[in-house]
Amino acid sequence: MGSLEMRMITFVLALGALLPCGLARGSLSEPYLISGKGNNAFAFPDYALPTSSGYFTVDPLSSARLFYAFYEASEPAAQISETPIILWLQGGPGCSSMIGNFYELGPWRTASDLQLHKNEFSWNKRFGLLFIDSPVGTGFSIAEKDEDIPTDQEQVAAQLYIALTSFFSLEPLLQSRPFFVAGESYAGKYVPALGYYYFMKQKLSLSVDIELQESKEVSPKAAPFRLDGLIIGNGLTDPKVQVQSHADTAFSFGIIDMQQRGEAQEKAKEIVKLVEEEDWHSAYNARTKLLNWIQHVGGLATVLDIRRRVPYHCGADGVEFLKEFLGLNSVKTALKAEEQIVWVPCSSRVGRIMANDTMKSVKWMIDELLQHNVPILLYQGQFDIKDGVASSEDWMRTLSWKGQEAFSSTKRRLWQVGNVLAGYWRSYEALTHVVVVGAGHEVPADQGLHSQKMIEEWIQERLIQLGLSKISSE
């Protein structure tokens, strides 16, 4: 068997183990709609439509386009010009943000009945919510050629920056609104990469503006949009450090025994060695095999949440209902997505092309952003072996910024919603860390109310610091 075939088999196995997929524990109301499983049986109602959706061209020399769906705040606490907007990015690489939209934090969610249900705990209650399928080739986004698909974080960020510039140009009032970038899983790399790209872009623009002003040629240009903070949930950010936690995490949950723990630790050491040698593809394959092994010997449905009997967004019968729902022509038409696209939760094509990026760290970008006082919220659900609490704590302890010592020594506190323990938090200056009780990898799906409160309260604090209107999370 050739090496290319082996690589493809390895990648397919990786997707089988790591794709988010199952029935959520969040709030699903009684169905608003009656639908069927045929392409013509579902009529997408006007009241569930995005405020706007469609495509942004990201390369004038190709047909590459990013798909987006935007939902305005349903109950804004301030005038729209001051109402924050959150961008949501899914992980992967190559997983569609429509997972976040129709399964986790969007205003409408679907389930195995292929009906739409009002999400009482959507993040767009107080904020505008923007979903982008990134990079091109993901979800409904378009990449006709493999060469259009990014191979590293700078290219991903560049595409997003172009798309966001187009989005914030749609309406005059959009540009001045507070803006936060959020995401989970592999977006633990996308989010800081976009933040870093934004600030480097503005730094370069400022330098050019100063030179032009000195020559009295032009006035300085305003940034095309703001950036007021970053949010990462159960993120892969520093893979070399994070992979070393898998053995201890699985052992502490009782998934593996002492002997198996030793085996997992040896596998992790080999992965670290491959990373240090910059053998990126081998390191990616080895990490995939380690996680598959833990899932297999532990008898888990998914390493993303040890409690689950089926993976995320799959029904009890094992059927991937999001794929069915987003494959309906009526849904594609309503979302203004290209009907010829076959929607899949995570693109194996994008994942294959970006495989060599997987084990590269972006922690240094977090360091740079914290040094410049960019607010960052890191949160994790406690039942995730892959990108959970321990792996995040480990890399957070290695950060190098001016507040690191004070952050590490700050007392962790209980977080309650009403009389219910929702989690634990620690915060110092620009950095906040939250552990969400009763959640796995996809926190908004598992703990809808608590994730909504967490986001509303954290952004409220940022708005107060900015001197803008306070929001209410009541």
State the catalytic residues. 185, 384, 441
What DSSP line would sit under 388-402, residue for residue?
-HHHHHHHHTT--ST
Q: How many CB atoms lie within 10 A of CB 154?
A: 13
Measured distance CA(102)–CA(114) in Å, rounded: 11
Taking the CA atoms of 236, 240, 241 and 245 in sequence, report the sign of the dihedral they define.
positive
All residues at 6 or more sequence positions from 425 whose CB lies less than 8 Å from its CB, including other chains: 412, 413, 415, 432, 433, 434, 435
All residues at 6 or more sequence positions from 446 whose CB lies less than 8 Å from its CB, including other chains: 24, 25, 26, 305, 381, 436, 438, 439, 440
Best CA proximity match to 136, nearest among 118, 117, 159, 114: 159
Q: Are strands 85-89 and 179-185 parallel, antiparallel or unpaired?
A: parallel
Beta-bridge partners for 87: 130, 181
What are the tokens at 426?
């620690």
Please give the helix or strand (H or E) that residue 367 lies within, else none: helix 363-371
Question: Cβ distance 160 to 66 under 8 Å?
Answer: yes
Amino acid at 202: Q
Question: Cβ distance 94 to 149 under 8 Å?
Answer: no
Amino acid at 451: S
Question: Cβ distance 426 to 410 under 8 Å?
Answer: yes
What DSSP line would sit under 310-360, residue for residue?
S-TBB-TTS-BHHHHHHT-HHHHHHHT--TT----SB-HHHHHHTGGGTT-
101: helix, strand or coil: helix
